[in-house]
Amino acid sequence: MRISALFFLLICVVAASAQTLPVSPQRAYQLLTPQDTLMIEMSPDGEQTIRHTVRKGHTLYALGKYYGVSQEILYYHNPVVRNAPLSLGQQLKIPIPTRAIKRLKDSEFDKKHYIPVCYRVQKGETVYRIARTYFNTTPQLFSVHNPQIKNNAISPGDVVLIGWISVYGLTNVKPKYTGEFAPALEASDRLGEKYLAHSITRTEHHENGIAFWQHKTNSPVRAKLYCSHNKAPENSIVKITNPMNNRTIFARVIGRVSTDVHGYTVKVVVSPDVARVLGAIDPKFHVKITYLK
């Protein structure tokens, strides 16, 4: 009887403990723990990435599942891993979508199940810029997460809390794009967001014409989205559409079209990445161009 009673007590304890643990089909991809901290970085074009340190058992497949990114995106940000195995301690650059970061501690929040996501303040940055421009949150919520910051006074080097991701990663956050063009399409989305922001204070102009590109290149599609155009301001963003297939991409203007080289019929000279995402086959093809002034 005594043994039976002890056995029954043991079963109850185990059952109670099991109820406190999350049930997740992604448990196999729990590559980090709540004791880890992810430091997020911002690229000049607004892309958010973290640095992941490779540990024993980490594979590209597991990393892709854990962070919800495609193999093409991992290769794009880390070209060395395309033809070489991962090594312990290796630092990999991995994009993190803003929508994947948990911002609020709701009634179900348990810090044992989440990993902090932090950002290191750079020179010239303000609370408003970090909150609004970078991470699509509010200065008020930023202050709640960082009570140590008084009167929005931050300095370069300060580490601030942005939010959290699940210890099970971003498996449920599906990649927006997959395939050969994924890096270029994600870069186009970031340029498109800037274009939309600028359109509030500028006038939109439309133009039809011929686009030209160096069509003999065989290099993989990356995310070099640039063009030359004679009407859009330099360093501005233009929207280019191929009317044959309705594909659209955004590109940054880096120069002017040389009439000595291309004559007056070519309205825009695009990078190979822009042309290939637009589905161009010939060196010259018709496009619709939208730009802001």
Instruction: Write the pLDDT tens digit of every residue in 224-240.
Output: 899 999 999 999 999 99
pLDDT of residue 12: 41
> Where are the alpha helices (H) located in 47-107, listed in sequence order?
60-67, 71-77
Helix (H), strand (E), coil (C) string for 232-288: CCCCCEEEEEECCCCEEEEEEEEECCCHHHHCCCEEEEECHHHHHHCCCCCCEEEEE
Domains and CATH numbers, the chain: 26-166 (3.10.350.10), 182-292 (2.40.40.10)
pLDDT of residue 245: 95
pLDDT of residue 286: 97
pLDDT of residue 196: 79
* Model pTM score: 0.58
Return the bridge partners of 163, or none. Answer: 117
Q: For residues 117 and 96, is the Cβ–Cβ distance under 8 A?
A: yes
Q: For residues 95 and 49, is the Cβ–Cβ distance under 8 A?
A: yes
Spell out, as residue ranges, where the chain has pLDDT lower than 70: 1-29, 44-46, 171-175, 217
CA 49 – CA 259 distance, rounded (Å) = 40
Q: For residues 219 and 264, is the Cβ–Cβ distance under 8 A?
A: no
pLDDT of residue 29: 63
